[in-house]
Structure 1
């Protein structure tokens, strides 16, 4: 049975009730989850599952297995049919949401101003890194400055779903170099009106004002057309 992915419609669900549908060693499948399994450069969520008797079991990793989401647990035991309450490590998740939305705005600026695409990236709670196919690394501070200007405007971040055929008609819907458009029939779209629109499956903040300010940690030259920026966000 496919796991219902609650985070796709609401990234702000911190706690939820669910039933264990399958157990394989320390991997537990639930009928629904708000734990993000990682992907698109974002790390997975962690947190805990609480049994009806109050026993707390740590979730140390979450990963996708086909149409199911596996929760890797430690410090307890669960059985098929058990009811649990899932609790996400919200501070960790929210920092990654802020960084994720920041990365979308930076990607939009790089694409619109310099026709540059992201060739790789990673988001952890502490910082994010993005690789751009740029020749000049001096352009990156300009991208960040413009992104911060946009973030400060307090623009609503919209999430909705479109059929694949309709989504493919939108220019720049996939802004990752060498990334093939998803083959699934329904796409999840994340739009910052007037700034960016992308097919995306990860959690985001509801408004750009929540991101704060992007601060560059360092910039690296990774080759002729590959410049890497490490950055974080500050309130």
Structure 2
């Protein structure tokens, strides 16, 4: 049974009622979830599954399912260490409340949107990114020097501009005809499913992305460049952190 990925349409949804569909050595599968699975450079969500008796099973990470019949949205929720006793009570068909660690998720959302703004500040292809709770890291394909002050000023202006961030989609055929929309070289948008999810920062950026984002750039808040370094002869790595 495919997982209904509720975070695709509402990144602010913090909890949902779900039914356990499978429990095995790979993790816990649910019929619907608010947990984002690691992918596209963004870390997976952590949180809790609240069982019918009120017990809280801690989830340390979320990953895409590798089950032979899994769809691209299927996820497995990985229990934190020390949850063995609760795991033994978990069975297929059991209703649970899936609750994400919202503080962690919201930081991911802020950093991920900031990374899209960076694609407007520095109009170079991206050859690798990582979105975590503590930082956003992007590798830009350029051998030109990058000034910290220029990056921070450009990012701050886009944050202050309060640009709406919305979700749209594009057909596989339309995306193929508009290759300029794909900014990342290391992560290709999923195709073959009919439509590809787009994240649109109004008047700033439009690109395929499956991650979670804030609704307005002002929510990104203050950020600073923690590091700029020459990663390879053709790439410059920039690390952002919260100011």
Place the TM-score, normalised by the shorter chain, in its bin.
over 0.9
The gaps in structure 1 that reach 5 residues or longer are none
Q: How large is the Cα RMSD of the aligned pairs?
A: 1.6
Matches within 5 A, 1:49-88: 49-65=49-65, 66-67=70-71, 68-74=74-80, 75=83, 76-77=86-87, 78-88=90-100
Measure the CA separation in 2 of the matches of 1:205 and 1:80. Answer: 34
Q: Measured at CA, do residues 179 and 52 of structure 1 come closer, stay the same or move farther in structure 2, by a change above 3 Å?
A: closer
* Residues 162 and 189 in structure 1, CA contact (< 8 A), matched pair in contact too: yes
Q: Which position in structure 2 is the counterpart of 1:132?
A: 140
In the TM superposition, residue 72 of structure 1 has moved relative to its aligned partner by 1.2
Corresponding position: 1:172 with 2:170: no
Aligned position for 2:219: 210
Alpha-carbon distance, 1:144 to partner: 3.3
Q: Residues 133, 141 of structure 1: CA spacing in aligned structure 2 closer, same or farther, 3 A cutoff?
A: farther
CA contact (8 A) 2:3 2:33 kept: yes
TM-score scaled to structure 2, two decimals? 0.89
Retained in 2: the 8 A contact 1:97–1:203?
yes
- The SS at the match of 1:222 is strand
State whether residues 23 and 79 of structure 1, in contact with CA within 8 Å, keep that contact through their aligned partners in structure 2.
yes
Say if 1:181 and 1:60 are closer, same or farther in 2 by CA, change over 3 A: closer
Q: 1:181 to 1:15 in 2, by over 3 A?
A: closer
Identify which range, 130-139 or 140-149, moves more after superposition.
Answer: 140-149
Counterpart among 193, 198, 202 of residue 202 in structure 2: 193
Question: Larger deviation: 47-56 or 23-32?
Answer: 23-32
The residue aligned with 2:122 is 110
Aligned length: 230
Q: Taking structure 1 as the reference length, what is the TM-score of the superposition? A: 0.92
2:128·2:186 contact (CA, 8 Å) conserved in 1?
A: no
Separation (CA, whole Å) in 2 of partners of 1:147 and 1:109: 7
Unaligned runs of 5+ in 2: none
Alpha-carbon contact 2:143-2:235 (below 8 Å) kept: yes
